[in-house]
C-alpha cells in the first residue's frame, strides 16, 4: 500500500475530534463489540477480554494520533501499510460506540445512506452522526486503497 495523504477541513473535522475523544474514553473499559464467551471458563474469558480491550484501546490511540500537530498545521492525515488496518479497526470501534450511545434512534438505512435532515436532529445526535459518516468515509478510503494495492501486486 502506498502512502495516502488526505487533506481535511480543520473547521469541519475539529468538532468531530471531540466526539471521537468522548467515544474513546467510553471505549477504555468497554469493548465496542463484546464477543459471546459465556461458555468459556471465567478466568480464560477475563484474560481474553482484557487482551481484546488492550488491542482496541491501542487502535483508538492510533486513530487519535493521526490528528497531531501536522494535522492542525496542514490539515493532512496519512495512511500507509503500517497504520491502515489499525485505523480501520479503530473507526469501526468508535462507530459502534456512537451507534450504541447516540444513534440508536436512527434506522440502519439512515446510518448507512447518510440521508436525513440534519437540522431536525438534536445537536448531540447531529455531531455523532456526522462523526459516524466521517469515520465511515475514512474506512472506505483506506479499504479502496488496500484493495488496489493488492490488485497491483
pLDDT digits (tens, 9 = 90+) for 76-120: 999 998 999 999 999 999 999 999 999 999 988 899 888 888 889
pTM: 0.89
d(CA 87, CA 139): 8
Question: What is the predicted pLDDT for the residue at 152?
Answer: 58
| In the chain, domain spans | 4-152
Average pLDDT over the chain reads: 90
Considering only residues 145 and 53, tell me which one the structure prediction assigns the higher pLDDT: 53
Q: What is the pLDDT of residue 151?
A: 45
Whether 46 has a pLDDT exceeding 90, the answer reads no
Phi-psi region of 3 (alpha: psi -120 to 50; beta: other; left: phi over 0): beta
Whether the per-residue pLDDT at 136 is higher than 60: the answer is: yes
Amino acid at each position: 500500500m502506498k502512502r495516502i495523504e488526505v487533506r481535511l477541513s480543520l473547521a469541519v473535522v475539529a468538532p468531530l475530534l471531540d466526539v471521537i475523544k468522548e467515544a474513546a474514553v467510553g471505549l477504555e473499559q468497554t469493548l465496542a463489540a463484546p464477543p459471546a464467551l459465556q461458555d468459556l471458563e471465567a478466568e480464560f474469558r477475563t484474560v481474553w477480554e482484557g487482551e481484546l480491550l488492550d488491542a482496541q484501546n491501542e487502535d483508538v490511540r492510533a486513530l487519535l494520533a493521526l490528528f497531531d500537530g501536522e494535522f492542525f498545521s496542514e490539515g493532512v492525515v496519512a495512511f500507509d501499510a503500517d497504520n491502515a488496518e489499525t485505523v480501520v479497526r479503530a473507526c469501526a470501534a468508535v462507530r459502534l460506540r456512537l451507534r450504541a450511545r447516540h444513534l440508536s434512534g436512527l434506522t440502519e438505512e439512515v446510518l448507512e445512506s447518510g440521508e436525513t435532515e440534519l437540522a431536525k436532529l438534536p445537536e448531540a445526535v447531529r455531531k455523532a452522526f456526522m462523526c459516524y459518516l466521517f469515520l465511515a468515509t475514512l474506512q472506505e478510503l483506506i479499504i479502496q486503497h488496500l484493495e488496489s494495492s493488492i490488485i497491483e501486486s
